[in-house]
Amino acid sequence: MGFMEYLQYGFIQRALISGVFIALICSTLGVLIVLRRLSLIGDGLAHVTFGSVALGLALRIYPLFITLPIVLVSSLAILKMTQRARVMGDAAIGVVSSIGIAGGVILASMAGGFNVDLFSYLFGNILAISREETILSIILSVIVVGVILYYYHEILSITFDEESAKASGIKTDRINKILVILTAVTVVLTMNVVGIMLISALLILPAVTAFQIARGFKSSLVISAVTSVLSVILGIFISIAVNLPTGATIVLTNFFFFTAAFLTRLGKDHF
């Protein structure tokens, strides 16, 4: 079967459309959170996602409805702990992350162990994404990108030097809050693409790929977005053609781009 024939299937169209939108927001936010040394926030919030999906399944509520608010609150809790309770950023992520995992394990065991539904969220299945989920992905992705573009200069300024940004009159607390809320929304959306276990890969890999070869902040965002989108598209087609799990294939395709960029930089540095 050729690629054009694959495109005739509705489930592949939905996977490609939602995957591309989610790849765009992951790669953009990824650049910001990696530079702010908050790379593990994706991992931490993914663990919370696990706990809230388990809660949704136990209560028989559609997991996305319960996951989004819980992950949003958790992301703000990480921020508050860092700002008010003087907990270091990585420690705050660790606290929220372990509570999420612990809660998920307890809920899963109360619900009779890890069932098929929970496993499908852990490892993701973008090919099973519904029409409604695709529309939601598009809407939320447009909102996330719109907010990033609107606050682009403020976000860049805070990312480079928060103290000076504050001295320029930027409301840094507000921008930090916006950034973690956007990350929370992105993490929840990404759950459908690569699964809870691999969310942070989609946030981190395109960004660190871009940093190998980019010559400026804007080009970092562009390279990160391009490699992320290509990884999703190639990952979906490769996984179907060779019958591999789609989420893991997308992540490994991302890793391939990272390796290529890393070797390119090494080559430039030495020759």
Residues that bind another protein in the complex, under the rule CB under 8 A = 35, 37, 153-154, 156-157, 160-161, 163-170, 210-211, 214-220
**Shortest Å, Cβ 17 to another protein:** 29
Q: Closer to another protein at the Cβ: 35 or 106?
A: 35
| Shortest separation between residue 259's beta carbon and another protein, angstroms | 18
CB of 37 to another protein, least distance (A): 8
Output the smallest distance, CB 159 to another protein, in A.
8
Query: Which of 55, 165 has the CB closer to another protein?
Result: 165
CB of 178 to another protein, least distance (A): 16
By beta-carbon proximity to another protein, the closer residue of 107 and 170 is: 170
**Is 257 in contact with 227 (CB distance < 8 Å)?**
yes
**How far apart are CB 156 and another protein at their closest, in Å?**
7
Residue type, 215: R
**Residue 209 · residue 230 · CB < 8 Å:** no
Q: Among residues 115 and 219, whose Cβ is nearest to another protein? A: 219
Query: DSSP state, 169?
Result: T
Q: How far is the CB of 35 from another protein (least distance, A)?
A: 6
Q: What is the rounded distance in angstroms from the CA atom of residue 235 to the CA atom of residue 218?
A: 25
Instruction: Yes or no: say if 12 and 6 are a contact pair by the CB < 8 Å rule.
Output: yes
Cβ proximity to another protein: between 123 and 217 the closer is 217
Task: Say how far apart CA 69 and CA 46 lie, in whole Å.
Answer: 13
- Tokens matching residue 172: 């840094």
> Hunting for tokens 């979906």 — which residue is that?
236
Decide whether 74 or 220 has the Cβ nearer to another protein.
220
Q: What is the C-alpha to C-alpha distance for residues 156 and 81, in angstroms, rounded to an integer?
A: 23
C-alpha to C-alpha distance for 260 and 64, rounded to whole angstroms: 36
Can you tell me the distance from the alpha carbon of 17 to that of 259, in angstroms, rounded to the nearest whole number?
26
* Between 58 and 175, CB nearer to another protein: 175
Cβ–Cβ under 8 Å, residues 200 and 26: no
- Which are the contacts of 63, defined by CB distance < 8 A and separation ≥ 6? 52, 53, 56, 57, 121
Q: How far is CA 70 from CA 38, 48, 80, in A?
A: 20, 8, 15
Contact 29, 186 (CB under 8 A): yes
Rank residues 5 and 269 by Cβ distance to another protein and give the closer one. 269
* Distance of closest approach, residue 79 Cβ to another protein, in angstroms: 18
C-alpha 234/C-alpha 256 separation (Å) is 11
